[in-house]
Every structure is written in C-alpha cells, then in structure tokens.
Amino acid sequence: MIVLFPWNAISDAKPAPKPVPKKRRDPLKLALYYQSLMDSGKFENRAALARYLGVSRARVTQVLNRLQHPS
C-alpha cells in the first residue's frame, strides 16, 4: 500500500508570526551615551569601550563622529 501526502498542505500551514518592529534609537542620544562612558574614565580607549558594548571599534567611531559633524 502506498500513501501519498501533499507537500504543501494548506490545512497544515500555520501563519508566520509578524516580526516585532525594532525600536528606533535617537542617533544623537546614542552618541552622547557613548561619550559619557568615555568621559567616565572606566575605558582607556575606544577599543575597550567597543569590547564592553559588544560592538566593533569602527561602530564606536561612527557613533562618536556624530558629535563632531552634526547634520
């Protein structure tokens, strides 16, 4: 006896959950936060701050550059 099952049965399909929209951060507030961490004296350089935050050194530089070039 051979039984065939449809591959894409509509009755088995479950609706995909809608993704939760990401909360948009204010870029200037983020830059001020990074700068406050640097000014606190807990981090000797941007690399140490990046390790603490779990981001790349380049990302820390990008965020901090917003304070030098407001646009």
The answer to whether position 35 is within a domain reads: yes
Domain total in the chain = 1
Report which of residues 70 and 66 the model is more confident about: 66
Q: Does residue 31 contact residue 64 with C-beta atoms inside 8 Å? A: yes
Q: Determine what percent of the chain is predicted with pLDDT higher than 90.
A: 61
Q: What is the pLDDT of residues 41-55, one digit of tens each?
A: 999 999 999 999 999
54: domain range?
A: 25-71
What is the pLDDT at residue 10? 59
The answer to whether position 8 is within a domain reads: no
Q: What is the DSSP string of 51-68?
A: HHHTS-HHHHHHHHHTTT
The answer to whether position 3 is within a domain reads: no
The answer to whether position 52 is within a domain reads: yes
What is the pLDDT at residue 6? 67
Per-residue burial over 9-45, b = 16 or more CB atoms within 10 Å of its CB, e = otherwise: eeeeeeeeeeeeeeeeeeeeeebeebeebbeeeebee
The answer to whether position 44 is within a domain reads: yes
Neighbours of 8 (CB within 10 A): 6
The answer to whether position 19 is within a domain reads: no
